[in-house]
Amino acid sequence: MSLIFSFILDGIILKYAPYSLFTVLIFIFLPRDNLKKYYIISFLIGLLYDFLYANILFYNSFIFLTIAYFINFYFKKFRYNFINILYLSIMLIIYYYTFSFLILSLIKYISFDLKRYLNIVLNSLILNIFFIAIVFLVKRRKLKVKYEN
């Protein structure tokens, strides 16, 4: 249900924060017992993003998969709580936009503009922090039971 909500929300606020969906990966699909399924789902979500919102096939699939690996690595080292989720989400948003701007600038798909980059990152951070807080509050009880064991 959260995945569908996130796709709809991303479609609505695409202009301001188009990639909040991968933050949902942190909340919903981090199964400690089935990482293969988690990575496949992450790749497929990226592929869906490529089809629905992007013009470059497999671009988001690759990024979402690397994000999934990083999320798994991060939560092996740190506790699963709101502060760590927020910190990780901020790092992932900055990673996503930095990587995207660098790659798309290298292939001359866009021209790199620092002001535009900072504007997009800051807008995305603000909206995603609210999005993360809402999802965390809704999922808090279920997450506590699932990850504190």
Give the number of other CB atoms < 10 A from CB of residue 45. Answer: 24
Cα separation of 93 and 1, whole Å?
A: 23
Give the number of other CB atoms < 10 A from CB of residue 79. Answer: 10
**What 3-state DSSP class applies to 111?**
coil
One pLDDT digit (tens) per residue for the chain, 149 residues: 555 555 555 555 554 444 555 556 665 555 567 888 888 888 888 888 788 777 778 888 898 889 888 888 888 888 878 888 888 888 988 988 898 888 888 887 777 788 988 988 888 888 888 877 877 777 766 655 454 44
Cα separation of 47 and 45, whole Å?
A: 5
Token pair belonging to 66 = 């690397």
Cβ atoms 124, 16 nearer than 8 A: yes
